[in-house]
Amino acid sequence: MLRPLLFAVASALVLGACASSPSSGTSRPEATETPAVVSPFSLGLQTANELVAAGNTPTAIQRLMQLAGDTSLSPQQRSEVLHKLGKLSISPTGYDAEGAVEYFNEVLTDFATTAAAKQSAAALPGAKATVTVHLATLESVDSTRSDEFLALFNLGRHLEAIDVMIANDILPSNEELLAMYQIGYLCEDPNLTGRAYSVTDRDGTVRNLRFCDAGK
């Protein structure tokens, strides 16, 4: 007895709903939301920030270099991108101290009235001091080949550093090897020949890498 009664109540509810709903001929179209348009500037900075947060500063730098060449950027935006390039390049995982000096100088020369120019002016002395330290290492007779490699790599002279590394059979730390992988000097390709380097990625993945250039 209960089931027929429930069925009758349910049928009445459905019929009531149908009667109260507007007919298809008079129904209003549903409102559609217009997707937000993200500018290349905002998207580029967001991507770079996410890469840095994931421990991939070299790729973030490459992304910002692409963004700096975008002709749609305003002078203000381009100055911000160049300043951020300088900041990342001089950071411990940026490995491009000389590049940082160039970026800061470019902001000061080409965008002198922007907020980024003030920030670059404040950051420039520290970047120059870092370059001076690395250059002193290269000039010192007491420096080892490993010291020379590190100085060159941190200055941003990566190919010179790799030449020193290979000629002297230097095994860099995981950080430098990972940077070489992120920049694109080392590749994970079983078809490559030459010495293999075991590298632990940020997520714990162990990669067996070799120089992408088979001549290395």
10-residue mean pLDDT profile of the chain (216 residues): values are 39 42 52 70 97 98 97 97 98 98 98 98 98 98 98 98 97 98 96 95 97 78
Q: Where are the beta strands (DSSP E) in 105-191?
A: 186-187
For residue 33, the model assigns a pLDDT of 64
Q: Where are the beta strands (DSSP E) in the chain?
A: 186-187, 197-200, 206-211
CB atoms within 10 A of CB 93: 17
| 63 within domain boundaries | yes
| 173 within domain boundaries | no
CA atoms within 13 A on the CB side of 181: 25
CB atoms within 10 A of CB 188: 14
Residue ranges making up the domain that contains 127: 40-139
For residue 30, the model assigns a pLDDT of 61
| 115 within domain boundaries | yes
| 85 within domain boundaries | yes
Residue found under tokens 């993200």: 38
| 81 within domain boundaries | yes
| 202 within domain boundaries | no
Q: Are 97 and 90 in contact (CB under 8 A)?
A: yes
How many domains is the chain built from? 1
For residue 6, the model assigns a pLDDT of 36
Measuring CA to CA, which residue among 19, 70, 64 is closest to residue 46?
64
Which amino acid is located at 117 in the chain? A
| 3 within domain boundaries | no
pTM of the model: 0.82
Q: What CATH number did the domain enclosing 86 receive?
A: 1.25.40.10
| 45 within domain boundaries | yes
Q: What is the pLDDT of residues 76-107, one digit of tens each?
A: 999 999 999 999 999 999 999 999 999 999 99
> Bridge partners of 200?
206
